[in-house]
Structure 1
Amino acid sequence: MSSASDLESMFDLAPVSLWLEDYSGLKRLFDQWRAQGVEDLVAHLGAEPGRVQECMSRLQVMRVNQSTLTLFGAATQEELLSRLDSVFRGDMADSVIHEFDLLWRGQLSFDNQTVNYALDGRRLDVHVHVRVLPGHEAAWDRVLVSLHDVTERVQAERQRAESERYARGLFDHSPVSLWVEDFSAVKTLLDDIRARGISDFATFIKVHPEFVTRCMQEIRVIDVNHETLRMFAAADKNTLLRHISRIFRDEMRESFGDQLQDLWNGKTLQQREVLNYSLSGEPVNIHMQFAVLEDHLDTWDLVLVSLVDITARKKAEAYLEYLGKHDVLTQLHNRTFYTEELNRLSRKGPWPVSVLAIDLNGLKNINDEEGHAAGDALLRRVGEVLSKAVDAPSWPARIGGDEFAILLPMTDERGAEAMRERVMSLLDLNNQFYAGQNGHVLSLAIGQATCSAGDQLDLALMRADKAMYEDKARHYDGHGAPGYA
């Protein structure tokens, strides 16, 4: 077999698509345009879309091999060449302009990636290598074009890119704050102290609180989503990261110490409630979920943290707790709280404990004659007087309709008397203030008693009640009004 026959066989049997083409017509067209003063081919082609088709028409396919026919689904070369308009179409325009520009600028050998179509309509992503054969550089009359089918690879890359876009969209637009973090340096620190023989980690961080701070500083934030920026009032990611110490501070150090303790014990999936702060300074109650991703358990270099803002829930819980221990009308503690504190003081003190039993004089008559709105106004005024008169650790409470009490831990008889005088002084001021508003005169009956260590607090309460009723009797005797109300 001659060498020419060998070459023909190699061309026909090559496992890649081969095209032998004649670009001499394109060369003559380029020379003509240069003579007309064209310098920028891309701009020239863009100015008149028909010029691209004119360039395409100057290319002549001389021969293709069997792999080409198989790739494009053609039975014969004649069938393929008669339907080239079905092969070279659609979204290959940009790539073919790029190829023409390379030739225009004298590059006679180059690679490119483009799109062709099989005769049955299948899209083919192909890697193209174009080479003007040696000895034909002047005329471009022999050009070898090879096509490698990369459709599967491109589709896989496209699917992967689509999956990444989808995952990125889920991350960016998640309704909860998401943080991707690198804890590998934290793991290194923990491994180091474990290697030094430390076994009681809880005691270690109590003795060395700076270790917790060091670990916090070693966390690297890789990414955050949009909800994170909104939750923490940050204009952008860089602003957030520059001021991260304003977000994780104060109470966060203690909770992070607990988080480290869990990590030390091998707990790489955690959840807890923590307190953070927005960049505007507002506290943000957070339910945090922390997870070292499964494929990164050896390094902790990829951690996902989700934060749910539970501030509204916490405020609601605090308000419900407040309602459970406070009287809504007077804003004082209620009978439930009063009873719980009596039980606690009865068991533990601190002693002595004094109590003031207080009753609002005349409430029944006001309710009967002017309605409960007028009576409620008087009760609110009692709340104003007692809340101003009493400081912690003492506190006042409304324990019945017109009944009030002040519990005074660590207070003897002289302290109780001083509290009584303070209440009466503020009562006078309150009456002076409301006198100008046509308000009723506020009058309180007060009894007091003191209980020392070893005595029964219940008996002191009874003595205080008895003294209060005696004070109430003196009030009505002085005003000539019958009954206690």
Structure 2
Amino acid sequence: MTVVPSVSSSADFEHMFALAPVSLWLEDYSALRQLFDVWRAQGVTDLREHLAADPDRLRQCTASLRVLRVNQRTLELFAAHSQEELLSNLAQVFRDDMHEQVVHELELLWSGVLEFSNQTVNYALDRRRLDVRIRGRILPGHEDTWSRVLVSLEDVTPQVQAAGQLQRSERYARGLFEHSPVSLWVEDFSVIKRLMDEVRHQGIRDFKTFIKVHPEFVTRCMKEIRVIDVNQQTLQMFGAQSKAELLNQISRVFRGEMHDSFAEQLQDLWDGKLVQQREVINYALSGDTVYIHMQFAVMAGHEGDWGLVLLSLVDITARKQAEAYLEYLGKHDVLTQLRNRAFYVEELNRFRRKGPWPLSVIAIDLNGLKIINDEQGHAVGDAMLRRAGEVLAKAVDSAHCAARVGGDEFIVLLGGVDERGAVAAQERIEQMVEMNNQFYPGQPLSLAMGRATCHAGDQLDEALQRADQGMYQEKKRFYQEHALNRRRPVPIN
């Protein structure tokens, strides 16, 4: 079948122009063409540079453009009641930031291109700002004069506003991320997901046992964490000057105890827990330990690949140090730094339940403390107690318990030590007393000691009593040798 084109009248084209659903402008650029010819004759080769040298030249260009006709959609878009109203107010339509964009169109025409497109800004007569996409074409037959140019305008204001809102939202989100008072990490766990899927496909069901047998799997997964971004608080927390410095030394941050906590994290992921929180230990670039409360979440939309993970880290180092100090105070005597009576009682109960046996006990009393306190003051007495603490801390191995259990009373518990070992321990204490007295001039330190050994829990109370009796006998001998009683001062060597 042959299609015979119909012959349209000029009236049809008039209707097409007038009723087109886009804004159409028929314009005359011949004056612009003549202006360009003058400038070329003057030796101008770089139009942009020429226009930048004198702002009036750009206004010459725009003033040379003559609008011949516009269609109905143009009048609607620019809130004009008639073509005459629009054309008489073109200075309100083409103004401000529009002039910054028109240079691109002029450059294309200067270079000989017969059509152009651009995005710019116009203004409706009701003062609305319009973001428009411009497309222009010098019509056939007018290439030499530019006397007929057809320009279409597409209103893209909603798209531009939406893009602007998106950019503002992104800047807002970026600002929240960068300046959050909490350390934030954006990470990619997709390789870890793949590795764990491979293990599952191999038929592994008991993941906990698997990573115990294959700890290298945990190490490999740690190495596959890809850090996408961190915020400013993160740099401050870990002592890094820049993101590059931190990320290039990430192995110094995630090490040591992190292996075990990361294994727990992998176990939770294996069990489908995509939101987690736990306390972990990291390290600053300075090497300092950083105790952290970590919250971990696979971001929505990435549950299938773990490609985007958000971690927030709160530095709880100060809290941990306070807790450790409180725990220390609960188990130590502040004055002597030895274990306190509460810890000593716990140790006795533990020994009663499970040993180890034999258990040797050394009961110790500081000779003459009451006399020192009465005659020289409690500050001197406290100094003597501190010296006793120094002696026992040096002489008693850290695996054993040396405790201050009363005002001037001390106990040493030696688990797994027989009579011979107890004798050796007492001799070490006596040697340390001699060294201490050489170091501290003036008031000599004197300790009365008694020891006993038992081989079962039901003998423990009896052993403690025998040690006490031995200590009191030594204390009595001390006062008899010096012809003293507790009301008279201890001689100074």
Choose which of 395, 402, 419 in structure 2 pairs with 1:389: 395
Please point out which of 452, 458, 468 is paired with 1:465.
468
> Are the aligned partners of 2:368 and 2:486 in contact in 1 as well (CA < 8 Å)?
no
Using the TM superposition, give the Cα deviation of residue 217 of structure 1 relative to its aligned residue in structure 2, in angstroms.
2.6
| Identical residues among aligned pairs (%) | 67
Shift of 1:38: 2.1
State whether residues 351 and 457 of structure 2, in contact with CA within 8 Å, keep that contact through their aligned partners in structure 1.
no
CA RMSD in angstroms, aligned pairs only: 1.6
Question: Cα distance, 1:333 vs. partner?
Answer: 1.0
- Provide the residue aligned with 1:208 in structure 2: 214
1:30 alignment partner, one of 36, 46, 54: 36
Preserved contact between residue 255 and residue 274 of structure 1 (Cα < 8 Å): yes
Q: 1:267 aligns with which of 261, 264, 273?
A: 273
Tell me if 1:291 matches 2:297: yes
Per-residue displacement from partner, 1:203-256 (whole Å, max 9, x unpaired)? 122222222222223332222222222222233333333322222222211111
- Cα distance in 2 for partners of 1:2, 1:215 equals 73
Match of 2:253 in 1: 247
| Superposition pairs of residues 143-222 of structure 1, within 5 angstroms | 143-222=149-228
List runs of 5+ in structure 2 lacking aligned partners.
Answer: 1-6, 489-493
- Tell me the amino acid that sits aligned with residue 70 of structure 1: E
Matched residue of 1:359: which SS?
A: strand
Shift of 1:322: 0.7
For 1:298-337, list aligned pairs within 5 A: 298-337=304-343
Question: For 1:24 and 1:379, how far apart are their aligned partners in 2?
Answer: 107
Q: Does residue 278 in structure 1 map to residue 276 in structure 2?
A: no
Q: Secondary structure at the match of 1:145?
A: strand
Are 1:116 and 2:116 matched, yes or no?
Answer: no
Q: Distance in 1 between matches of 2:457 and 2:134?
A: 100
The CA deviation string for residues 39-86 of structure 1, in whole angstroms up to 9 with x for no partner, is 222222222222222211111111111000000000001111111111
Whether the aligned pair in 1 keeps the contact of 2:359 and 2:415 (CA below 8 Å) is yes
| TM-score normalised by structure 1 residue count | 0.96
CA–CA distance in structure 1, aligned partners of residues 456 and 411 of structure 2? 20
Partner secondary structure for residue 253 of structure 1: helix
The Cα shift of 1:193 comes to: 2.2
1:179-221 CA distances to partner (integer Å, 9 max, x unpaired)? 2122222222222222222211111222222222222233322
Does residue 479 in structure 1 map to residue 482 in structure 2?
A: yes
**How far apart are the structure 2 equivalents of 1:111 and 1:16?**
15
Task: Tell me, in whole angstroms, the C-alpha distance in 2 between the residues paired with 1:331 and 1:453.
Answer: 30
- Structure 1, gaps ≥5 residues long: none
CA shift for structure 1 position 440: 1.3
The equivalent of 2:429 in structure 1 is 423
Query: Which residue of structure 2 aligns with residue 87 of structure 1?
Result: 93
Structure 2 counterpart of 1:76: 82
Instruction: Provide the rounded CA distance (Å) in 2 between the counterparts of 1:266 and 1:249.
Output: 25
- Residue 448 (structure 1) aligns with: 451
Partner residue of 1:54?
Answer: 60
C-alpha displacement at 1:471, in angstroms? 0.9
SS of the residue corresponding to residue 114 of structure 1 reads strand
CA distance in structure 2 between the partners assigned to 1:408 and 1:6 by the alignment: 113
- TM (norm. structure 2) is 0.94
Shift of 1:484: 8.2
The more displaced of 86-95 and 38-47 is: 38-47
Residue of structure 2 in register with 1:398 after alignment? 404
Cα distance in 2 for residues equivalent to 1:480 and 1:103: 121
Distance, in Å, in 1 between the alignment partners of 2:415 and 2:388 is 22
Aligned-pair CA distance for 1:454:
5.0
Contact 1:346-1:456 within 8 A present in 2 as well: no
Q: Which residue of the partner structure matches residue 39 of structure 1?
A: 45
One-letter code aligned to 1:325: K
Residues 472 and 484 of structure 1 are in contact (CA less than 8 Å); yes or no, is this contact kept in structure 2?
no
Partner of 1:256: 262
What is the SS of the residue equivalent to 2:301?
Answer: helix
**Corresponding residue SS for 1:295:** coil
CA contact (8 A) 2:355 2:457 kept: no
Tell me if the contact between 1:361 and 1:484 (Cα under 8 Å) persists in the aligned partners: no
